[in-house]
Amino acid sequence: MSRFSAVTDNPHDGRFNQKTGILLTNLGSPDAPTPAALRTYLREFLSDPRIVEIPRLVWMIILHGIILRIRPKRSAKLYESIWTENGSPLTHITRLQRDKLNTLLQEQGYTNTEVVMAMRYGNPSIEAGLEELRDKGLTRIIVLPLYPQYSSPTTGSTFDAVSNVLRKWRWVPELHFVNGYHKNTSYIDSLANSISEDLEKNGMPQKLVFSYHGMPKLFLDRGDPYHCLCLQTTRLVSEKLGLDKDAVISTFQSRFGKAEWLKPYTDATLSAFPDENITDVAIISPAFSADCLETLEELEEENREIFENAGGEKYRYIAALNDRDDHISALYDVLKPML
């Protein structure tokens, strides 16, 4: 229990200041690119019932009997290929986003706010982030998951984690939860800006690919809006840039297992392009607010190889918004109505 829990659990004692804590969250990364660290990370990640929706007992047998014996070693090699002197790119970039957002809030006059970062899986955990805010004597919490397009396995799971922590607090502070911002004008503008900068430098490709993280089609069938939100994002950015419909395509990446996932698949689409005389592509992944394994390894390396091996000639990846100033301004714009 926090050393300030006595104060936090008794807000009527008058010792509280009116302070807003912003919990900036992302998916997370292992602590190191090693099989042991990956086993710990994958155990937490793949044990989440929002991630894998099959009977619990059956999945636990598969997870502990097969997957956690095989996948950590393979995944560790992939993480090692993107690891930097700052550690995990995702964690490092989220830290930069936190610091820049804190600075912007102070510059805009929100001196009684503080941004803390947390990860849904791995460290720093959601619980650690909330405890840090509680230790500072906050009275309000705004949770901003860095997933522009809502989905149950990402945003929904973050809500679960926050709720599981707060249900143990005697006094629950005022809570605001951002469940997505895919239509936010500033977010769309920042995506359009990043694409415009690339086009100005490299020219218009034959096809601009909007590659979103995939999910089992079963989730869509059961009512998850993610697929529709992704297509809306592509449409809004395309309209902002004045792009012809035939110049863009939305695809879905990162599938695993034998079940059908959202289509069209990114890798299969890239593999088929050269047979359609499309040999020049640019690819962007708007669902990722920070570059990570799925962009730096899967898109930058693996999918480039797939495209070139199929006969593709020009392939370029447009970086995630990361800590761009217009992206930080977009996050501020998302938060502003709640501040």
**Mean pLDDT of all residues in 90-99:** 98
**Minimal CA–CA distance to 269: which of 256, 287, 252?**
252
Structure tokens at 14: 């008058």
Rounded distance between C-alpha atoms, residue 268 and residue 253, angstroms: 10
Q: Which residues of 262-274 are buried (b: 16+ CB within 10 A; e: fewer)?
A: beebbbebbbebb
Percentage above 90 pLDDT, the chain: 92
Q: 90 exposed, middle or buried (CB, 10 Å; 0-12, 13-18, 19+)?
A: buried
Res. 17 pLDDT band, cuts 50 70 90: low
Structure tokens at 100: 């820049």
Residue 44: other Cβ atoms inside 10 A: 15
Q: Residue 12: its pLDDT value, please? A: 53
Rounded distance between C-alpha atoms, residue 327 and residue 320, angstroms: 10
pLDDT of 304 > 50? The answer is yes
Q: What is the mean pLDDT of the chain?
A: 94
pLDDT of 14 > 90? The answer is no
Binding residues for Fe(2+): 213, 294
Handedness of CA 331, 86, 253, 261 (dihedral sign): negative
3-state secondary structure of 19: coil
Structure tokens at 152: 């149950």
pLDDT of 11 > 90? The answer is no
Determine contact, residues 238/313, Cβ cutoff 8 Å: no
Rounded distance between C-alpha atoms, residue 141 and residue 100, angstroms: 19
Residues in a beta bridge with 316: 282
Q: Residue 257: its pLDDT value, please? A: 83
Q: Which of 9-18, 183-192, 232-241, 276-285 has the lowest mean pLDDT?
A: 9-18
Determine contact, residues 30/40, Cβ cutoff 8 Å: yes
Q: Residue 6: its pLDDT value, please? A: 41
> What secondary structure letter does DSSP report for 241?
H
More confident residue, 79 or 7: 79
Residues 228-263 have pLDDT tens digits of 999 999 999 999 999 999 999 999 999 988 899 999
Structure tokens at 85: 């002197």
Q: Cα dist. 312→195, 213, 252, 273, 274 in Å?
A: 21, 22, 19, 8, 6
Q: Residue 263: its pLDDT value, please? A: 98
Res. 139 pLDDT band, cuts 50 70 90: confident
pLDDT of 1 > 70? The answer is no
Q: Cα dist. 42→39, 73, 129 in Å?
A: 5, 11, 21
pLDDT of 15 > 70? The answer is no
Binding residues: 213, 294
**Minimal CA–CA distance to 189: which of 240, 247, 250?**
240
Structure tokens at 221: 């069938």
> What secondary structure letter does DSSP report for 212?
E
**Minimal CA–CA distance to 205: which of 313, 321, 322?**
313
Residues in a beta bridge with 145: 25
Rounded distance between C-alpha atoms, residue 107 and residue 91, angstroms: 24
Q: Residue 2: its pLDDT value, please? A: 46
**Mean pLDDT of all residues in 15-35:** 90
Residues 181-226 have pLDDT tens digits of 999 999 999 999 999 999 999 999 999 999 999 999 999 999 999 9
Res. 9 pLDDT band, cuts 50 70 90: low
**Mean pLDDT of all residues in 45-60:** 95
Q: Residue 3: its pLDDT value, please? A: 45
pLDDT of 16 > 90? The answer is no
